[in-house]
């Protein structure tokens, strides 16, 4: 399968049409950005680390009953996906307080959020992705009440599944962002799930293993992405 026309060029990924109407190709580029695009760089191999981890998570989630857009990888930077009608919501699940929830509300960094918090932002760069609530989401008719319920259920399922998988590798899933789309009437997981869209902390050292390393200049971000991608996708079994 080959890329035909470019459909969308995002900050770190490009989406292409293919010869099959129902399939698209996502290119994971080596661009990395933070702070609403205020900080940007091109880092060699970054795209492949994120693509590899996303593909691994999508396959794992599918095996565990979560519907996703993932079909296959054609090379380390290009993922074939089912075409979805994307829903402009960023669904964030938080197990531990960090990032914007600490900046904007009186939570302590590192505070356990039990039950996990689901926060939904409106995906709109021009408006800087403002936080929504259920009433605004329904008033804007972004989704139906049944779809909203389903999205929250899937977000909780994804959190439970990924938290367990990562915990076995000594990694705490602090928070993550996912996006959804419709395939007919079915709600599917779209976009990516990678170090760019999650906060991961080493259980032993508390070290950041995600884009916070880039955001806050905490070290060699590509060395960390390389290490964490291997740790997630090629786990060493403990004897």
Residue nearer to ligand 5GP on the CB measure, 93 or 148: 93
Minimum CB–partner distance for residue 199 and ligand 5GP (Å): 4
Residue nearer to ligand 5GP on the CB measure, 1 or 10: 10
Minimum CB–partner distance for residue 196 and ligand 5GP (Å): 5
Residues that bind ligand 5GP (CB under 6 A): 90, 92, 99-101, 129, 175-177, 196-199, 211
Residue nearer to ligand 5GP on the CB measure, 84 or 173: 173
Written as six digits, the tokens of 22 are 């129902």
Minimum CB–partner distance for residue 71 and ligand 5GP (Å): 21
Closest-by-Cβ residue to ligand 5GP is 99
Minimum CB–partner distance for residue 2 and ligand 5GP (Å): 27
């Amino acid at each position: 399968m080959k890329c035909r026309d470019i459909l969308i060029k995002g900050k770190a990924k490009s989406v292409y049409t293919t010869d099959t109407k129902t399939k698209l190709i996502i290119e994971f580029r080596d661009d990395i950005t933070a702070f609403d695009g205020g900080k940007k760089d091109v880092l060699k191999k970054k795209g492949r680390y994120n693509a590899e981890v996303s593909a691994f998570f999508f396959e794992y989630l599918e095996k565990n009953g979560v519907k996703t857009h993932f079909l296959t990888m054609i090379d380390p930077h290009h993922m074939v996906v089912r075409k979805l009608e994307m829903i402009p919501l960023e669904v964030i699940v938080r197990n531990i307080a960090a990032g914007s929830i600490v900046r904007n509300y009186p939570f302590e960094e590192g505070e356990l959020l039990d039950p996990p918090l689901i926060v939904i932002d409106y995906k709109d760069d021009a408006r800087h992705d403002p936080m929504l609530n259920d009433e605004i989401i329904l008033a804007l008719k972004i989704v139906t009440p049944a779809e909203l319920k389903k999205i929250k259920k899937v977000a909780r399922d994804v959190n439970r599944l990924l938290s367990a998988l990562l915990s076995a590798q000594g990694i705490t899933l602090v928070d993550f962002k996912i996006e959804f789309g419709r395939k007919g009437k079915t709600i599917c997981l779209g976009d990516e799930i990678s170090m760019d869209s999650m906060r991961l902390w080493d259980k032993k050292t508390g070290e950041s293993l995600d884009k916070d390393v880039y955001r806050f200049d905490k070290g060699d971000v590509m060395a960390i992405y390389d290490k964490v991608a291997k740790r997630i996708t090629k786990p060493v079994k403990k004897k």
